[in-house]
Amino acid sequence: MGTVEHDRIGRLLSEYDRDESKYGRLCYYVEGLLRKLIESSGIRVSSVTSRLKERGSFAKKIGRCKYQSAGDVTDLAGVRVVTYFEDDVDKVASIIKNCFEVDVLNSVNKRRTLPVDQFGYRSSHLVVSLTPQRANLPENHEFASSKIEIQVRSLLQHAWAEIEHGYYKEAGLPSPIARRLSRVAGLLEIADQEFASCRQEAIAPHTLPICRYEGVAELVEDFQINIPFSALPRDFSVDRPLLLYFNTHVTNRILANGQTEVQLYVEQGSARVESARGSLVANGVLSFSGIFPMLPRPKQDYIRLCISGLRINAHVLGLGPALTGTTVQCSVAIGERSEADEQGGAREPSVPLVGPIDIARIAKSFSFEPVAIDPPTPQLPVRLSPSEHSQEVVIAAVYRPLFAQVFRSRDGENGTDAVSAKQGTCISLSLLGVPRGAELFVSTSELAESPDRTSFRLVEVGQLSIGRVGQDVVHRPIDSRDASFEQLQTLGTRARAVWECVHSLGEDQVPSFGLWVRVGPQCEPFTLTASGALAPLRVTHVASQAGSIPGFSGLSEQPTIAIVELVV
């Protein structure tokens, strides 16, 4: 070691001896501050500890690296936060970033810098100093220019770091053992993620799957029902059906054998059959025959059923107060036996078993936005005043998908049992309050940026479901794009347009459809309201009330959103 190097190390060690107690006080102060900040945030952690780098360790580090002062060693003072769960690491790091001045150049998140094909040390290291507000406090003046390193890691990451750094790194490892140690790091990473996932599922409120308010044949995600064994009567006839009651219409297709696509599976417990298809016996009632008797598993007091393939009419169900939403509900009962048995036994009434239970929540997808309005208006309804000249308004009906694969073309709409769909997913726009002296036009496809790549085509322009009558197409510019429109046919004060999906959309595409309203000078005051509906798997124009596959004709659609008003 040369004289210059020897003098440098000696000088830095002297600085260490001089400032040792100051850095010790800094460790104590930041440790206590972090404890309070984390506790006030509601995050539970395993430990918060601090340490001052030992003199021998400091000497080794300044011997390896050419530091010019002790203050350049950013981990001379350190605090370590060990969280129980990996997803709390970022939360604690966010607290630190908000409450300290972070030295970005000297901070590192090992979880993000570790190559994707490697496993190993995964901690977040933040080099910080006190904020000016805290450093200006009289008791903190000595810490104003001092830095401290805060390490944040999960409990499993901490275990790995302690073992790997404290033993294996010192011992040196042959390649086979290093490889095995890397595999252990990978297992710990998986365990960390699983612990966090389990915690999230355990503490998070039960989130119901979404059904779109506009859907008249919404597919409900598979759901489970637990039937307490104590709820089953011990002496009822086993040939009675199991009934599922819903608070809205069931709109599954009816197959050739009279049953629907809805299937019931016995997931936990035993029954005469392990699965059965439901028959539609009323608008919102499915019947499953041949299920009883049902018995629970040993040491269990319930039977668990899974219901799959249910479609419901969310449009009939509607939305709750203030558009906060409502839920699809299901109740379970044993069906009644209307005739006496061969021995002359009495009629057996239905027996409620479970419910009502929530199985899905209703959410709204359609919205209406004014476009090409002069002067521009940000909200609806667009209010017009009487004029000696014609007035025009263009409204965009925007459909924001709530989940993937919302729209499908005709080929993609074929469902189970190879039942062919005659149309792709269809969107209906219904209007109420159409005044005399007004003309309504709708776009012949969605308002796409490129007219050559549209995914929808206009298939109906009237209330009677007679399709398009072949009138001339009118062109109108919308936001510097040329859009094609066709005139709506009205029935009294009602009108409706239907678009069919002919080419599948990308998952990030949000289709919108144009409604062009032309109000004549002699038009009387009016309020035009609108609503949208969505019908997958649509195979018929006219559906019965029970509705194997609903079309739009049988709907009692009540447009609820005022979009244009002419006021005096």
Share above pLDDT 70 across residues of the chain, in percent, rounded to a whole number? 77
Name the residue with tokens 């936060």.
81
The Cα–Cα gap between 557 and 542 comes to 14
Residue 265: what pLDDT?
A: 92
CB-CB neighbours of 6 under 10 Å: 10
Integer CA distances (angstroms), 411 to 56, 340, 420, 424, 540, in order:
74, 50, 8, 7, 16
CB atoms near residue 201 (< 10 Å) = 10
Dihedral (Cα; 478, 479, 480, 483), 10-degree rounding: -20
Cβ(154)–Cβ(86) below 8 Å: yes
Walk across the sheet containing 275-277 and list its strands.
Answer: 223-228, 302-308, 263-268, 275-277
- CB burial readout 89-123, b (16+ within 10 A) else e: bebbbebbeeebebeeeebebbbeeeeeeebbbbb
**Hey, is 556 helix, strand or coil?**
coil
HSE-up of residue 525 (Cα within 13 Å, Cβ side): 4
Contact between 259 and 387 (Cβ < 8 Å): no
Confidence of residue 559 (pLDDT cuts 50, 70, 90): low
Please tell me the predicted confidence (pLDDT) of residue 81.
93
Report the C-alpha gap between 155 and 196 in whole angstroms: 12
pTM equals: 0.55
115-124 confidence digits (pLDDT tens): 545 555 667 8
Looking at residue 285, its pLDDT comes to: 92
Is 542 within 8 Å of 361 (Cβ atoms)? Answer: no
CATH top-level class for 210-338+346-363? mainly beta
Angle at 138 between CA 133 and CA 142, to 5 degrees: 90
**Distance of alpha carbon 335 from alpha carbon 236, whole angstroms:** 10
Of residues 461, 428, 433, the one with CA closest to residue 534? 428
Residue 251's nearest CA partner among 203, 291, 219 is 219
Could you tell me the residue ranges of all domains in the chain?
A: 3-201, 210-338+346-363, 366-566
* Fold observed for domain 3-201: Beta Polymerase; domain 2 (3.30.460)
CA distance 479 to 112: 43
Helix then strand count (H, E) for the chain reads 9, 33
**Alpha-carbon torsion (259, 262, 263, 268), positive or negative:** negative
d(CA 419, CA 413) in angstroms, rounded, equals 9
pLDDT of residue 207 exceeding 50: yes
- 234 pLDDT exceeds 80? no
Give per-residue pLDDT as tens, 63-81: 777 778 887 888 888 999 9
Tell me how many degrees the CA angle 185-149-10 measures, rounded to the nearest 5. 110
Task: Kindly state the average pLDDT of the residues 167-184.
Answer: 69
Gap between the Cα atoms of 320 and 103, Å rounded: 50
| Alpha carbon distance 201, 378 (integer Å) | 40
Helix (H, G, I), strand (E, B) or coil at 552: coil
Does position 243 have pLDDT exceeding 90, yes or no?
Answer: yes
Q: Which of 430, 384, 401 is nearest to 564 (CA)?
A: 384
pLDDT recorded at residue 187 = 82
Residue 114 has pLDDT above 60, yes or no: no
275 Rama class: left (phi>0) / alpha (psi -120 to 50) / beta: beta
Tokens 């901490």: give the residue: 158
The predicted structure's pLDDT at residue 144:
87
**Which of the residue ranges 253-262, 344-353, 442-451, 543-552 would you say has the lowest mean pLDDT?**
543-552
Number of neighbours of residue 164 by Cβ within 10 angstroms: 18
Query: Which letter, b or e, does each residue of 397-422 get, where b requires 16 or more Cβ atoms within 10 Å of its Cβ?
Result: bbbebeeeebbbbeeebebeeebebe
Among 164, 78, 181, smallest CA distance to 127 is for 78
DSSP secondary structure letters along 366-403: EEEEEES-SS--SSSSEEE---SS-EEEEEEEEE--SS
Q: Is the per-residue pLDDT at 20 higher than 70?
A: yes
Per-residue pLDDT reduced to its tens digit, 397-456: 888 776 655 676 766 554 444 444 556 778 888 888 888 888 889 888 888 766 666 788
Task: Note whether 415 and 421 are within 8 A (CB).
Answer: yes
Extract the tokens encoding 44: 């539970």
pLDDT of residue 79: 93
Which residues have CB under 8 Å from 410's CB, separation 6+?
Answer: 421, 422, 423, 424, 500, 502
Distance in angstroms (rounded) separating the CA atoms of residues 360 and 352: 21
Q: Is it the case that residue 288 has pLDDT exceeding 80? A: yes
Percent of the chain at pLDDT above 90? 10
* Higher-scoring residue by pLDDT: 555, 31: 31
| C-alpha separations of 154 from 40, 117, 186, 206, 540 in Å | 19, 21, 14, 26, 58
> What angle (nearest 5°) sits at the alpha carbon of residue 53, between those of residues 47 and 59?
160
In the predicted model, is pLDDT for residue 539 greater than 70?
no
User: Is 496 a residue whose pLDDT tops 70?
Assistant: yes
3-state DSSP assignment of residue 513:
strand
Joined together, the tokens standing for residue 68 give 């010019």
Provide the Cα torsion 498, 258, 329, 337; round to 10°.
150
Six token digits for residue 342? 């061969």
Among 430, 406, 442, 398, residue whose Cα is nearest residue 537: 406
